[in-house]
Structure 1
Amino acid sequence: MPLSVLSLMILSALAHQKSDAATAGLSENVLPEITVHVAKISTSAQKKKELEKLSGATNYIAKESLQSVIKSNNADLFENQPGIYAASSGNEGVKLSIRGSGINRAPGAHASGLYVTLDDIPFTGPGGTPYELLEPLWVDHVEVLRGANGLERGGLSLGGTINYATPIGKDAAKLQLHHEMGSRGYQKSAISSGQQIGDLDYFISLTYGENNGYQDHSSSQSKGIATNVGYQVYDNVDTRFYLRYRETDHQTPGRLTQKQIQEDPTQAVASNIDLNNHRPQPGSLWLANKTNVNLENGDLLQLALAYHHYPMDLQEGYYNTDVDYDDVSTLINYKFQREFWAKESQNTIGFRTTTHLPAGTVIERQRVNIGNYPAGTETRHYTYQGGDYVLHASNALALNSQLWLDSRLALAYTHRESEVTWPVQSEKENNREWNLLPSLGVRYQYTLDTQLFANISRSLEAPHPWSLIWGSDHYFVDQGPATGRQSAPTHLNTQTANTIELGGRGQSLVGAWNVAYYYAKVKNELLAVEIATDPKQIIAESNASDTVHQGVEIGLDSPLWQNDALGKLNLKQSYTYNDFHYKNDAVFHNNELAGIPKHIYQAELRYQHPLGFYAGLNTIYASKAPTDYANSFYVDSWQTWGATLGYTQPEKSYLAWLDFRNISDKKYASTITPGYNDNGNDPARMTPGDGFGVYAGLTYNFH
């Protein structure tokens, strides 16, 4: 039986007494020599131990588990992780949700309901989380703090916080070559280098990717660079500079009905082909610095500053939207440990901000001739503004050696602003508000191998500034090419939720386990709802009536068999139950919220040989799911199977893997974009999952 994860996190010492003939006659007062051997704790074990200090559910995705999987998009990073829904639409615009956060978002949109950081530095902005800089090849490990635990890092969202950590020089190979290739022209390459030179270390990675795509008209290309340089300024001061830059472009094939997916999932919407719909993101840039100051009394002061530039040239539909975002983020954290009432007390006081810089006007143009107006005609101008400013504090108090009380409090100021500036100036929608978000939790170390936890918390999600325009029911009338386009922003309330969570984690005879149950009462949830029926039906993003999000998240990693000479057999499983529904809505009563399956099960059975060879069999199951809030139509449940083969050289100089995906070539809907009421019809709002494919990867390290 393998050692438990928890036991690997505990320092062990072995003392032994030396004796020989030369010391036999020494006085009894002379003490024998003692040699102490301290077991080295891996980085993964340290990170897991830190997450176990939180009174709620977490995920840690180690770099070791990422080395032997395809890394085409973010959905690949979160496979077989309880509580995390990550579904690919065939490109990098993954639909990512935790506990129903951002459930109404379409894949490809800026993500909602999650607070994302890069190397603990704020990345999510008032307009959501763009995806093009979240290159999986630049990930060393991922930390996920589900739900209320995200407040520990300043996250306010229902779904919690995700931190993507970049490799650094001291842990990287001097030169690494990586290449992936596979079905439908998939290619992805990276060359990276990192090392430590005295007080300085560096890491740099260049990436390139291309893919023809599963659907027609779904090809994509990308290229980018990520680098960081760290320097030990003084014994107690270190600083690190970060840069990420990436260009992406992918065609958008459009969404299909379930019938179309069953008949031919590779087809694209004809108008998308005719219009050559695609999404260029011509060059996103993220620059940041993080400095740590270790004070003489053991306290830690952390300072960070980041600049994020992310332009988009949306060539989709009859109109082209040219958007140019600029965000500036700051971070101040002060961490200290004291005694409170003669009890150990661990504390953090933090302040983080992300502000949209005053930007140029968003310009919308026709892509085709419409009426008497030729392609290229400007239709309207509008602006977005916004900011998030969060002061937060947390305290972990040891009531005794087994019981901890975790208290957190955040004061948040959010700003969302939008207006149409041409052809007619609209009134400005300017939402500014303060919110207080408390969280109280307990964690109890029942035994050395079992920890229990509970918490109660409050979360919020302010609307994106762009949704104030696109959710509006105000339209231009008799304004030339602008006729029928939104003429003014609308008001949207901030979504809030009160959540309770119960759960635990540990080791048992069946392996490493974790389980969590949560129940959230949500007010003003940002959903697609009917906001007008006369003179015409208007359906757009708006605030829904009261909703409930509850669920169960279970993870189990079981060692089934082990032999020192022959290897080991392991079964890893995750199950997520998603119950998201209205609460006594006037129209939809207690209907399910559309967009995410209620049941998701994932498993992998893997054999590992001591010489480095491994083989695995995996499966994913998703239950049927409604396409609309009326629950008038459901997409079918589905299950896919896959297999992996690979080899990791014992000194880790190189590794290779072969991945067989969707072996049975199952036809299924991977993502759903929710609708209001489909009246029992099969709507064209699904994206197909990829069919059978074979992929291979090779990594070579020069140390």
Structure 2
Amino acid sequence: MAAESQRSYGFYSHPGAVIHVCLARRVLAHVLSSFFVKLSLSLLVLGALMCPSLLAQTTAPGASLPEVVVTASSQPESLTVPSVATVKKELSIIPGGVGVVDAEEYKRGRATTLKDALDYSPGVFVQPRFGAEESRISIRGSGIQRTFHGRGIKLMQDGAPLNLADGGFDMQAIEPLSARYVEVFRGANALQYGSTTLGGAINFVSMTGYEASPLQMRFEAGSFDSFRAQVSSGGVFGSADYYASVTHSSSDGFRDWSRQSNQRFFANVGYRISDDIETRFYLTYVQTDSQLPGSLTKAQMESRPDQANAGSVLQKQKRDFELLRVANKTTFRDGDETLTVSSFWSWKDLDHPIFQVIDQVSNDFGVDVRYDSLADLAGHRNHFTLGLGAMYGITQDNRFQNLLGERGLRTAENQLQSTNVDLYIQDTFYMTDSVAIILGAQGSYANRDFDEQRVFGANNTDRQDYWGFSPKLGVLWEVNPETQMFFNVSRSFEPPSFGELTAAGAAPGLVELDAQRGTTVEIGTRGRAGRAAWDVAWYYAWLDNELLSLGIPGVSATQTVNAGRTIHHGVEAQVDYDLLRGLFAPWQEATLGSGKQAATEAVKGDRLFLRQVYLFSDFHFDGDGEFGNNELPGMPRHYYRAELLYEHPCGFYAGPNVEWVPQSYFVDLANSQKADGYALLGFKLGYRTPKGFSFFIEGKNLTDETYAATTGVLKTANAGSAVYFPGDGRAVYAGVEWKW
């Protein structure tokens, strides 16, 4: 029995060990206590310098707080671009994973990449390939084999697609600094935008003259000769408003041959024709040049992560393009009914030397008509949506030999045409005051037409058509005014893009591919209680014909084909908590409104705030003939990101953050090679105010960890496979901003 006891408790069973453990705990407690006391005092001193009133705001114990009365603003709101508060209320009736990222949050630090903007959006996995905009971006394992030119998500600007008509999209088309907020719809919860892909939709919503400053200037600089500047202006003139933003960014990059240079212009002009009619025109111009350092073997990454792939440098691999985009959105409102008509045209000129030189000029057109009604149905609350979206794209595709970065002989001259038509309908019916049932469906048609205008060998002219029907059923239970639980089951449908359809070998015509389809079940909850706020969802998706690079024997080992049954199962969680409140600035109660409409709400003081997101991603084959139940590669099974931030209501903030991948994960379908897990430490401090001067200082990867930010995906990898994309080394960035 004594032996069993000793085995059970290990070294704790030895009296001397107990003494050592107790002593170690006391020493550790003293060290941690001293550290946090010093940190708190340091933050207090720094905060007092930034906010002279900080110490004066401390309230003595037992002192009564004065009553605060908050008066609603009379500032009008755009019909075409709802405010952050309005859109959060609209999305709260969706029974599934949705969220809104307030741009003011990510503008408190470096705001260059999609990762900077979406790092704390639950369910979104985004990792730059080499510290730039080009990234692997995935929701629920969408487009899992893509580390470039995204697929599986509908990326939008102000409700109109940025995707080409065949489904691919460029991250460089987005300017996070010109956005007011970002809407994220995970999975079939993006049905209201006509999206039925596994990943859903991400919508960057622009600033308007109703919210923008007459003049704003922002400058950022930091490691790797990074520089970023923005000048923007917005205003309201009677029934019209405008917003315009010009940005320049450049960086030599952490790695060799990874220089980036981007110039972007975003503008919109809105006109309020009447109280119930508003139209808004959008203009976008992007010029982006990106050197591509390529991937490394694991040994190369571990020995010198800042090097480039020798072949990428030899061939001077790059991705440069110009983008011009014009769009319009017009909203008509009649009581509880709203009609929104959106349209766009985009032109893109791509110059893309890789193993060959790709020269493409694309023209894409789209229109979406959407009707919403909030009228009661049979005496119950109801929200009805009916919409029709259509896109057409035509691309002149020319390809040449890559002779050390120069164009050699022409190898292809093609015309690519894509057509998509989506009819969608959804109704949210409140059976009781707190329980709603949601029914929706979408019918989709897609066409891919490949015309080889000059034949080089076999004639590849071909055409493929796809039809899809995607129903959705959901239930929403409002447990109390601040807590919801939800359930939904839905179908997804994703036709292949030309990147998957184009034959890589000698086979003529397009590759015969079926559309990727799936069934997803989702259960979750979101809400707020006391100091805590959360958004947690569990999902399980059965996919058929997932588009994966399994290869075609005798044609290409990397050709995309339809896999058998695969499973995408995971958890998306965001949990925020105020660890401490009222350290130096007390929280108070405010009275909103008057009379019977009066309500009480907390006015924030200072706080120590823990923000955290967690992703569990269990993606694997389901009894595949070749791969069995192997894990799908490219994404870690566990991903955790957290930030501990002290915030003062005057605008001062400071604190550390961490990004943690605790386990290694596979980089190939055969599950023979793994990327190692990692932990990154960062720190951010700054001061942000609605008007006047703001600044930030942010450190990233402060321990200078060598790690793979993301990886490519191969069928079978070995020690010599160049599949790893190293993340940036230690970096520090600083920025200043002035709003008039």
Normalising by structure 1, what TM-score? 0.88
Which residue is equivalent to 2:141?
A: 100
Distance 2:570 2:700 in 1: 28
1:665–1:692 Cα contact (<8 Å) kept: yes
Aligned to 2:580: 561
Q: How does 1:590-629 map to 2 (within 5 A)?
A: 590-622=629-661, 623-629=663-669
Q: 1:577 maps to which residue? A: 616
- Native 8 Å contact 2:614 2:638 kept in 1: yes
Contact kept in structure 2, 1:230 and 1:241, CA below 8 Å:
yes
Q: Aligned to 1:208, which of 248, 263, 266?
A: 248
Of residues 333-342 and 418-427 in structure 1, the stretch that sits farther from structure 2 once superposed is: 418-427
Are 2:539 and 1:502 equivalent residues in the alignment? no
**Structure 1 equivalent of residue 588 of structure 2:** none
Asked if structure 1 preserves the Cα contact closer than 8 Å seen for 2:103 and 2:117, the reply is: no
Aligned to 2:449: 417
Aligned pair 1:467/2:500, yes or no? yes
Q: Is the 8 A contact 2:532 2:576 kept in 1?
A: yes
Find out whether 1:518 has 2:532 as its counterpart. no
| 569 and 37 in structure 1: CA distance in 2 versus 1, 3 angstrom threshold | closer
Partner of residue 36, structure 2? none
2:34: which partner in 1?
none
* Structure 1 residue 308 displacement after superposition: 1.0
Q: Distance in 2 between matches of 1:234 and 1:425?
A: 59
Contact 2:566 2:622 in 1 (8 A): yes
1:331 aligned partner: 368
Match for 1:302: what amino acid?
A: T
Distance of 2:407 and 2:134 partners within structure 1: 28
Look up the SS of the partner of 1:538 in the other structure: coil
Aligned to 2:481: 448
RMSD: 1.9
Supply the AA of the counterpart residue of 2:446.
T
2:341 counterpart (297, 300, 303): 303
Structure 1 position 276, deviation (Å): 1.7
Greater helix content? 2
Secondary structure, in 3 states, of the residue corresponding to 1:467?
A: helix
Q: Give a deviation string over 1:226-245, Cα, whole Å, max 9, x none.
A: 10000011232110000000
Structure 1 SS opposite 2:173: coil
> Residues of 2 paired with 1:232 and 1:415: CA distance?
38
| 2: CA distance, partners of 1:539 / 1:87 | 22
Q: How many residues align?
A: 641
Corresponding residue for residue 257 of structure 1: 297
Partner in structure 2 of residue 540 of structure 1 = 559
Task: State how far apart, in whole Å, the 2-side matches of 1:338 and 1:141 are.
Answer: 28
Counterpart selection for 1:349 from 386, 394, 398: 386
Distance 2:167 2:582 in 1: 53
User: Do the aligned partners of residues 105 and 201 (structure 1) sit closer, same or farther apart at CA in structure 2, a change above 3 Å counting?
Assistant: same
Distance 1:65 1:132 in 2: 21
Pair 1:375–1:190, CA change in 2 (3 A): closer
1:681 deviates by 2.8
Post-superposition Cα deviations, 1:431-465, rounded to whole Å, max 9, x if no partner, equal: 11221110010000122332100000001111002
**Structure 2 residue 206 is matched with structure 1 residue 173:** no
> Aligned ranges for residues 139-288 of structure 1 at < 5 Å?
139-281=179-321, 283-288=322-327
Whole-Å Cα distance in 2 between the matches of residues 121 and 197 of structure 1? 26
1:117 matched to 2:117? The reply is no
For 1:103 and 1:393, the matched residues in 2 are separated by 29
| Other-structure match for 1:550 | 569
Identity level (%): 31
| CA apart distance, 1:537 | 6.1
Q: Where does 1:376-455 land on structure 2 (aligned, <5 Å)?
A: 376-421=408-453, 422-424=455-457, 426-455=459-488
Which residue in 1 is equivalent to 2:88?
A: 48
**Aligned position for 1:85:** 125
Which of 343, 351, 364 lines up with 2:399 in the alignment?
Answer: 364
573-582 or 555-564: which moved more? Answer: 555-564
Aligned to 1:686: 724
CA contact (8 A) 2:207 2:243 kept: yes
AA in 2 matched with 1:156: T
Change (3 A) 1:574 1:166: same
Distance 2:374 2:411 in 1: 58
Structure 2 partner of 1:10: none
CA-to-partner distance for each residue in 1:620-655, whole Å, 9 max, x for gaps?
A: 012311010110011100110000010124x53221
TM-score for the superposition, normalised by structure 2: 0.84
CA distance in 2, matches of 1:292, 1:423: 49
Give the match's secondary structure for 2:459.
coil
- 1:262 is paired with a residue of what secondary structure? helix
Alignment check: 8 A CA contact 1:420 1:488 kept: no
Which 4+ stretches in 1 moved above 6 angstroms? Answer: none
SS at the partner of 1:137? helix
C-alpha deviation, 1:584, in angstroms: 0.1
Contact 1:520 1:550 in 2 (8 A): yes
- In the TM superposition, what is the alpha-carbon distance from 1:291 to its structure 2 partner? 0.6
**Partner residue, 1:675:** 714
Structure 1, 626-635 or 308-317: larger mean CA deviation: 308-317
Deviation at 1:354, TM superposition (A): 1.2
Specify every segment of 5 or more residues in structure 2 that has no aligned partner in the other structure, as ranges.
1-68, 75-81, 586-605
The 3 A distance-change label for structure 1 pair 162 and 647 is same
Partner Cα distance (2:402, 2:200) in 1: 39
- Give the aligned partner of residue 691 of structure 2: 652
**Alpha-carbon contact 1:549-1:578 (below 8 Å) kept:** yes
Aligned partners of 1:677 and 1:353: how far apart in 2? Answer: 39
Deviation at residue 221 of structure 1 after TM alignment: 0.8
1:23 equivalent in structure 2: none
- Matching of residues 64-79 of structure 1 within 5 Å: 64-79=104-119
CA distance, structure 2, for counterparts of residue 420 and residue 117 of structure 1: 30
Give CA-to-partner distance per residue, 1:177-221, whole Å, 9 cap, x none.
011110010001110000000011000111111100010010011
Cα distance in 2 for partners of 1:435, 1:523 equals: 13
Q: Structure 1, residues 220-267: CA drift from partner, whole Å, max 9, x if none?
A: 111121100000112321100000001011111110112211111000
Instruction: State yes or no: 1:60 paired with 2:86.
Output: no
> Structure 1 stretches of 5 or more lacking a match?
1-35, 476-486
Cα separation, 2, equivalents of 1:611 and 1:139: 24
